[in-house]
Each structure stands twice: as C-alpha cells, then as structure tokens.
Amino acid sequence: MSEIVSVEAPANIAFIKYWGARDLERAIPLNPSLSMTLRACATRTSAQVLGRGMGDEMWLVGDGGLQPAGGSFRDRALAHVARLRAWAGRDEGVRIATHNSFPASAGMASSASGFAALTLAVVAAFGRDPEPAELSRLARSSGSGSAARSVLGGYVEWPAEGSGAGAEGAAVQVAPASHWDLRDVIVLVQRRPKGVSSLQGHLRAPTSPHFATRQRLLPERLDRARAAIRERSLAQLGPVLEQEAIELHLIAMSSVPPIFYWAPSTLRVLERVRGLRDDGVPAFATMDAGANVHVICEPGHEPAVIDALGSAPGIDGLMRDRVGEGPRRIHEHLLGAEPGGTGV
C-alpha cells in the first residue's frame, strides 16, 4: 500500500459571482469572479493509491466511521478521480475518504472545498506537485468552477477565459489572508440543499433579459472590488458585494424558467443587515445560489453582527468564519493503513 495523503481545503465566498458558463462541463465561465477564501468551512480528504487493476473507493466519514459514498456525489467525484488519473498518466485505483467541517445538511455549498480537497489529495497521492495555476485548472475541470478559487488562500480572482489576465483558466491570488482580516458571519436560513443546482443556474443565466447588462457592468465593478481589497476599504467593497449578490438573484429569478433561491427569512436577514448599517455598524450581505446569507464585516464589528442576527426570526443558527490561508496538508488521516480501516 502506498502512502496516505491528507489535505484540508476551505470553501470560499464570492464577492463578484461566477454566474453563467461558456462550457458547463469544463466550467469555463462567461465572467470573471473574485472571492474570499474561508477558514472554518472546509473539507478534509485523504487519498491512497491502490494496486493496479483495483477499482476506486469513495468513503464518507460519518458518525459511525466510514460509509460508502453514494448518489450523484459519488458519480461526480469518481469521474474527477478518473480525470486526475489520466492527467497524472497513471492507471492504479485510488481509495478516498472525505469529511466536511460544516454540517452537510447546512445548505452550504460544499463543492468548492470538496473538489479542491479531492484534487489536491489525489494529485499528491500520485506523487505530483504542480504549480498553483495547474492545480486551479485541475480543480475547475471537476465542473465546480468555484473550486478553481479554493486552491488558493486570501482574496482570489478567477479571470474569464480569453481575458488575457493571468494564467489561462486559472485563479490567481489578489492578496494574502494576512493583508486584511475580514469576517463572515453565516446566517443559516435553510439547512436543506437548494432545490436547483448551480449548474442549472449557469445554464439558464443567459436567458435572463438582465444578463447582458450585468456583463457590461462587471469589468468596472471588478476593478472597484479589487481596488477596495487593495486599500482594505469595506466602505468601498461592501456596496459592490451586496449589489452583486442581489444581481445574481435578480438574474436567477428572471431566467427562463425562473429560479427562486431566497426564503422568506432571507429578506428578514437582509433587512437586519440594513438596520445594522443605519445604527453605524458597517456590515454587508452576500448570498450564493441558496437562501443562506453571509454577512461580511471587520473584526471589531463581529460581536454586534452576531448579536443582531442571532436573534433574527426564522433563522436556523449562525456560523462564524473568516478569511483563511488556503489549503494545507494535514497529518490526521481519514483512512487507516489497511483496506476498510479508518484513521478517525
């Protein structure tokens, strides 16, 4: 048996959203995006190369130990393992175990951290150590575009293909986590997974009459977001990230057929965030393709945000997160050394 490699990769929250794909299967975006890599919301994955002729194994770490993965997650993950194997020019099977630090039932997108962790663990188990740009492209080829950003820490930009910015198709770091300590108070509004996948959303986005307008406005908005990060100005960044979130949902709601991700409590939380600002607390809300709200603020204002939102009616809990440094190798393995054994 070869060495077990274990990796932790974080989720990320987009300030400028990837919404609409030129090529959905390879996750080639129609527009650039910009995100903050998180720290607490992360996926841990262990990988071990098996002998030749052995099939792949995919395990989830649950309460009672390892359980075989099933359903569409398993299919997508194994298809990605096959892609990584072909890239590495290898033919052995791989044994994988994975675990999310945040509850899978929390309605939080876990595919960015999941596919970033899977990519990094399998590539390392095959003994390869590619440049970050190649890792970003490999993570993206899973079909989860946001995974392209999760292989890097801090503030990360993923240019649209053909824009001439950065390595083609790969995300690049705009600033490290140490540059600016931003906090993300995640307000859980709905724990169940969203009804319509992001993949469907990307597909339908260009059917919205507002899609073309958004594409026209994005370059200037991206410049403003990048400059705000450089200057550590939440007064500049906040309105941009809030506008982006609302526009993503405007496009979803006006796509054909329409997609409604918001729940009634989403609006109540947004109202509270506006109320916080009226009381002099600079906090700004963003949402991915779901009902949960990420409230971005600086450390000094985090207690006031938690206080105001923890008691909002109809919410199902809060999670505290912050900008993080990106993926790392870990030494606690989720697999035991022998087949079927667990290291947890």
Binding-site ranges for ligand DP6 (CB under 6 A): 14, 17-19, 33, 109, 111-112, 144-146, 198-199, 248, 288-289
Residue 14 or 276 having the CB closest to ligand DP6:
14
- Min dist CB 64 to ligand DP6, Å, is 28
Q: How far is the CB of 199 from ligand DP6 (least distance, A)?
A: 6
Where do we find the tokens 């667990």?
A: 342
C-alpha R_g of the chain? 20
Q: Which is nearer to ligand DP6, 14 or 234 (CB)?
A: 14
CB of 131 to ligand DP6, least distance (A): 22
Distances (CA, A) of 166 to 35, 106, 169, 241, 269: 16, 34, 8, 23, 37
Helices (H), 126-191: 132-140, 147-150
In the complex, what is the shortest distance from the CB of residue 146 to ligand DP6, in angstroms, rounded to a whole number?
Answer: 3
Nearer to ligand DP6, 2 or 200 (CB): 200
d(CA 287, CA 293): 5
CB nearer to ligand DP6: pick between 48 and 146:
146
Cβ atoms of 32 and 158 closer than 8 Å:
yes
Is 233 within 8 Å of 225 (Cβ atoms)? no
What's the closest the beta carbon of residue 336 comes to ligand DP6, in angstroms? 30
How crowded is residue 290: how many other Cβ atoms within 10 Å of its Cβ? Answer: 23
**16 vs 276, beta carbon nearer ligand DP6:** 16
- β-bridge mates for residue 65, sequence order: 62
Cα–Cα distance measured from residue 341 to residue 268, given in angstroms and rounded to the nearest whole number: 47
Nearer Cβ to ligand DP6, position 6 or 110?
Answer: 110
- How many alpha carbons lie under 13 Å from residue 113 in its C-beta half-sphere? 30
Smallest separation (angstroms) from ligand DP6 to the CB of 41: 12
Shortest gap between Cβ of 109 and ligand DP6 (angstroms)?
Answer: 4
What's the CA gap between 114 and 111, in Å, rounded?
5
Q: Is the Cβ of residue 112 or residue 121 nearer to ligand DP6 in the bound state?
A: 112
CA 84 – CA 218 distance, rounded (Å): 33
Using the minimum distance from each CB to ligand DP6, give the nearer residue, 28 or 304: 28
Tokens linked to 303: 């207690």
- With beta carbons less than 8 A apart as the criterion, state whether 293 and 287 touch: yes
Our measurement of the distance from residue 256's CA atom to the centroid of its chain's CA atoms, rounded to an integer in Å, reads 25
Question: For residue 40, how far is the Cα from the chain centroid?
Answer: 12
Q: How far is the CB of 165 from ligand DP6 (least distance, A)?
A: 16
Name the percent of the chain in helix, strand, coil, to the closest 5: 40, 25, 35
